[in-house]
Chains A and B, each alone.
Chain A
Amino acid sequence: MKKKLDFPHIMTVVIIIAIYAAVFVAEQTIAPTSMLFTVLKKGATYALVAVSMNLLNGFTGIFSLGQAGFMLIGAYIFSIFTIPVEQRGIVYQYYNGGIIQFTLPVVIAMILAGLVAALFAFLIGLPVLRLKSDYLAIATLGFAEIVRTIFQWDKLGPITNGSNMLRLFPTFNDFNIRNAEGNVVVYLSTLVPMIIAGICIGIILLLINSTYGRALRAIKDDEIAAEAMGIHLASHKQIAFCVSSFFAGVGGAMLAMYQTTVQAKSFTTAMTYEILLIVVIGGLGSVTGSVLASFLFVACSEWWLRFLDQKQYISGHEIPLLRNGFRLVVFSFIIMIVVLFFRQGIMGTKELPDLFRKKKTAEGGAK
């Protein structure tokens, strides 16, 4: 295989660099309170989680609904180990400051968040991955609910703060570079999360296009044939499950930084559903699709369609239907239309470089 970069790949690299450059410039010039940055930060977080879910549901054919559970683990591990020691007394006020009295650097804590999520995935994967599609879905969903309960248990309070909020840990704003007076010199609070998500998604892409990725796709296409080709189903599914959960964990850590607070009760099944629907809208089996759909979804829900939730007047007349909650109704209908009539989603199984190819080829990967 020749390593020569062809036109589609050059275009892809150019586009990605352009996006990052534009974000950097925008951050230095536009007021940091702009909705644009909220969307980009949350979008980057969701993009990572959606791609990690797509690795399972779209590329390996494992219908897992445990994503919120692994995000929760990631978010908790990250925040537990990054709250500054001097703040622990305030955060863990009901538990005498908690029992963990040290902090880890942000990067280490993020990796640890992923690793612990992956460890949980490994343990739960042993029994659960043997199950068939729909049973697996419901078992992973149940697992996420169990995790949510355990993290709220009062007896674990000295570590998890029970059902109370975790806060005062580093957030995206801490990525900004400040001078001695504490004024921001260079804004990086959007660029850094986008770079983190970009690196993680890049790693997932590398995996998908490696020999292991081909084995996973083979499993999705036909388990029996894959096994007959010498692919050990259990270990390969376990690989997909753990890698996916690792990045869901990292995504959870990012979500914690985005939200600035973490509480177990917010990591509900509804969150998993939302991510699944993003993956479906983008196209099961397309990394590009998941990324696009994440940013679109977040932009619509946080910004562009916000007006649907408020009463609007045209020349003094109130527009009917518009009030709190209407945005979600519109959303639901869009999703149902995609699910029923555009099952391929935005991208189908195509990736960004495929858009620059004249002939339709089947190579799913971007590399």
Chain B
Amino acid sequence: MWNTIFPYLLSGISVGGQYALIAIGYTMVYGILRLINFAHGDVFMVAGIVMVYMAASGLPLWLCIVLDLAATAIIGFAIERIAYKPLRTAPRMSIMISAIGVSYTLQNLVLYITGGLNQIYPKIPWISDSITIGSATTKVVTVVTPILTILLVFALVMLINHTKVGMAMRAVSKDFETSQLMGININGVISTTFVIGSFLAGVGSTLYFTNYTTVIQTSGAMPGLKAFVAAVFGGIGSVPGAVVGAFIIGIAENIIKGLDIILFKAGLISKPMGLAIFSDAFTFALLIIILVVKPTGLFGEKSIDKV
């Protein structure tokens, strides 16, 4: 029984870590701008595409990774400056629409550049290698992901709690207007948030696409949405919440992928039910349930509307 579940659990933890790295970008941006950055999943996808093209140019791989992460951070910064900053005083619906527009634009740009064909993600030595742990044969990246995720999150939490820019971020997410009056450089804080969020999505993309091996213009949509659900699940605005949410969702969806086999081996069903198809739907069902039962998520704070 354990041997049946273990491989799914392992890849769940791994995918969970990758979702976590994307989810942080959502949760931080939402915390500060109250905006669902619908384009964030596509930034993650673009990071994958940039990596493909850089590796093809013949640069050493380590340099490609560094340049890719830098490029991703710059793209995140640029998107905020071009598409969100001009709408800062506009109704919230406008800025959400702008985010959807950016998502549409990024996907179409990549479609144009790649011709809509699957791009093979470069094999990164060592983390692309296979290893066997217990009953599971997997890639090294599966094991590396959760560890790297935890380290990065730890570093981020230190940054938020113990540096000046972190303090500014916390202040802005608590009260936008007052922070502005107190002389905090709002635009600087927002840009920093986008840079950090995009950088982490870039790291996530390296890990994710090493695992899935191909990138296409729609590759970011689903992981993006799931990471967002993770952020909501954990309590939007909370970094640790997003990480916990991401691991739960990653594990749950992978268990569902193997549910037919697990149930079959446990003797609970006699023939496959085709349940694997619900691995995505489950995430969204979870989203609707959490929104209805506890809209503030696991770690979120409650806010009162003033009349």
Contacts and interface: CB of A to CB of B under 8 A. Distances in A.
Interface of A: 57, 61, 63, 124, 127-128, 130-131, 133-135, 137-139, 141-143, 145-146, 149-150, 152-155, 224, 269-270, 273-274, 276-277, 280, 284, 323-326, 328-329, 331-333, 335-336, 339-340, 343
B116 A63 contact: no
A57 B97 CA distance: 11
B307 interface: yes
Contacts of A128: 288, 291-292
Given A135-B295, A138-B287, A324 B93 contact: no
Of B86, B97, B225, B283, which is in contact with the most chain A CB atoms at under 10 Å from its CB? Answer: B97
Of A127, A146, A150, which is in contact with the most chain B CB atoms at under 10 Å from its CB? Answer: A146
Given A134-B92, A276-B100, A340-B83, A146 B281 contact: yes
B94 A339 contact: yes
B115 A131 contact: no
Contacts of B218: 270
B93 A332 contact: no
A153 B109 contact: no
Contact of A339 (B97, B108, B277, B288): B97
Contacts of A149: 277-278, 280-281
Contact of A329 (B112, B116, B225): B112
Of A131, A331, A340, which is in contact with the most chain B CB atoms at under 10 Å from its CB? Answer: A340
B98 A339 contact: yes
Interface string B280-304: 1101110110011001000000000
Of B98, B280, B284, B307, which is in contact with the most chain A CB atoms at under 10 Å from its CB? Answer: B284
Interface string B108-123: 1101110110000000
B97 A276 contact: yes
A63 B93 contact: yes
Given A142-B284, A323-B112, 8 more contacts: A127-B291, A135-B295, A139-B287, A146-B285, A155-B273, A331-B108, A339-B83, A340-B98
Contacts of B60: none
Contacts of B221: 269-270
B292 A127 contact: yes
A140 to B, nearest CB: 9
A339 B232 contact: no
B108 A143 contact: no
B284 A143 contact: yes
- Describe A's contact surface by its main secondary structure: helix
Contacts of B113: 325
B266 interface: no
B67 to A, nearest CB: 24
Nearest to B292: A127
Contact of B100 (A150, A273, A331): A273
B123 to A, nearest CB: 27
A143 B90 CA distance: 28
A155 B273 CA distance: 7
A133 B92 contact: yes
A131 B97 contact: no
Contact of B274 (A138, A153, A224): A153
B229 interface: yes
B179 to A, nearest CB: 21
B14 interface: no
B184 to A, nearest CB: 24
B104 interface: yes
Interface residues of B, number: 49
B111 A142 contact: no
B188 interface: no
B103 interface: yes
A222 to B, nearest CB: 11
Given A326-B112, A332-B108, A138 B281 contact: no
A277 B277 contact: no
Contacts of A139: 287-288, 291
A153 B277 contact: yes
Contact of A273 (B104, B274, B281): B104
Contacts of B151: none
Contacts of B93: 57, 61, 63, 133, 284
User: Which 5 A-B pairs rank lowest in CB-CB distance, beginning with the nearest?
Assistant: A142-B284, A325-B112, A332-B105, A154-B274, A149-B281
Contact of A152 (B94, B277, B288): B277
Interface in B218-241: 218, 221, 225, 228-229, 232
Contacts of B225: 138, 141-142, 145, 269
A324 B116 contact: yes
A129 to B, nearest CB: 11
Nearest to B107: A270
B139 interface: no
Contacts of B109: 329, 332
A86 to B, nearest CB: 29
A326 B112 CA distance: 6
Interface string B153-191: 000000000000000000000000000000000000000
B279 to A, nearest CB: 9
Nearest to B93: A63
A137 B115 contact: no
B108 A138 contact: no
B96 A335 contact: no
Contacts of B280: 145, 149
B147 interface: no
Contacts of B228: 138
Contacts of A329: 105, 108-109, 112
A81 to B, nearest CB: 24
